[in-house]
Amino acid sequence: MNSNVTSVKLVLLGEAAVGKSSIVLRFVSNDFSENKEPTIGAAFLTQRVNIGNHTIKFEIWDTAGQERFASLAPMYYRNAQAALVVYDVTKPQSFIKARHWVKELQEQANKGIIIALVGNKADIIEDGEERKVAREEAEKLAEEEGLLFFETSAKTGNNVNETFLAIGEKIPLKNSSSANDQHHDTNNNNNQRIDLDNNPVDAASNAPGCSC
């Protein structure tokens, strides 16, 4: 395994049919399908992205959006380092739901989780349909809660890669020369599995600064 590869667990949350799976499909396969089957439980996909001379491997957990599946969500956002909270810019209800998700993640998920608020289906507005969630309102929420914010279109691909790249840039990179330090410096549970694999001794060592 290339030691310059950092794995990032990312989870997608948001109301049903806002386009979570479509965003993933666009990002992973640069593809779009109008009638995607609803995700049952969760789907798992991966995609690698190069940022500078580092590679970030996104392990993407795409979840079901219907309200009653919410009780399963903690299973999927457990240990996630990043989250996309997606809403539909033409559906105000989906924005309310997005607020709830942000709140839940901040309370329940890993500390330091990077959250991106994503208003999807921006292409519909360009086609003349009425926007129901003001950009300013979403920007305000993003600012208040410290979220990344993008308006995307999984259909046209607009801003989809940018969203993931912006998250990638905020992820503390795993530095091959000082993998040890990295483990201690970052507080965002940078994939422990890999750290343990690469540094089996480290886990048991009494290295200073390791308090987790």
Measured in degrees and rounded to the nearest 5, phi and psi for residue 150 equal -140, 145
Which of 12, 13, 25, 64 is in the footprint of other proteins by CB under 8 A? 64
Residue whose entry in the numeric block shows the structure tokens 């299973």: 75
68 binds other proteins (CB under 8 A): yes
E strand residue ranges, the chain = 5-14, 42-51, 54-63, 82-88, 114-120, 148-151
Q: In this complex, which beta carbon is closest to other proteins, that of residue 61 or of residue 87?
A: 61
Specify whether the CB–CB gap between 143 and 117 falls below 8 A: no
Picking from 36, 38, 158, 35, the residue whose alpha carbon sits closest to that of residue 89 is: 158
Find the shortest distance in angstroms from Cβ 208 to other proteins.
27
- The interface region with other proteins, picked from 72-80, 115-123, 153-161, 202-210 by CB under 8 A, is 72-80
38 binds other proteins (CB under 8 A): yes
Where does this chain bind other proteins (CB under 8 A)? Answer: 16-17, 34-42, 44, 46, 59, 61, 64-66, 68-72, 74-76, 100, 103-104, 107-108, 193, 197
